[in-house]
């Protein structure tokens, strides 16, 4: 059994081909998806603004350390795509930034 690492992943993308219903729902919930709502969770946290152009999805992913950051990014992008599809929100290409929390160096003040 391989060692599990915890990854924080930010998935970024742009909304595309939003229906009027999707646009209206996003605008109605925009205050719940701003800067204050940005959190890393297993389910993911969607953040966007009133322009409805770009969005980010913040996720926590547990994955085998041997599979590395690429696998964590793929898992996170799949989760984000699934969540956006379930909500009926169209999007373009996704990009991810991954941080391995188990190998992150913390500099303590002396």
Q: What is the pLDDT of residues 73-90, one digit of tens each?
A: 999 999 999 999 999 999
Q: How far is the C-alpha of 29 from the C-alpha of 55, rounded, in Å? A: 13
**Domain span at 56:** 4-100
Q: With respect to residue 109, please indicate whether it lies within any of the assigned structural domains.
A: no
Q: What is the pTM of this model?
A: 0.89
Residue 79: how many other CB atoms lie within 10 Å: 18
Tens digits of residue pLDDT in 46-71: 999 999 999 999 999 999 988 989 99
Structure tokens at 51: 């322009």
| Residue 107, domain member (yes or no) | no
The total domain count for the chain is 1
Q: Do residues 58 and 40 touch, judged by C-beta distance below 8 A?
A: yes
Quick check: is 35 in a domain?
Answer: yes
Structural domain includes residue 108: no
| Residue 62 belongs to domain with CATH number | 3.30.70
In this structure, is residue 76 part of a structural domain?
A: yes
């Amino acid at each position: 059994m391989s060692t599990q690492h915890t990854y924080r992943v930010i998935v970024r993308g742009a909304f595309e081909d939003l229906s009027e219903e999707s646009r209206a729902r996003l605008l109605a919930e925009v205050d719940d998806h701003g800067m204050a709502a940005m959190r890393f969770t297993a389910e993911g946290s969607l953040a966007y603004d009133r322009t409805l152009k770009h969005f980010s999805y913040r996720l926590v992913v547990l994955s085998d350390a041997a599979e590395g950051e690429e696998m964590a990014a793929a898992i996170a992008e799949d989760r984000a795509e699934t969540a956006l599809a379930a909500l009926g929100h169209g999007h373009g290409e996704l990009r991810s930034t991954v941080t391995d929390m188990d190998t992150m160096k913390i500099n303590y003040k002396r």
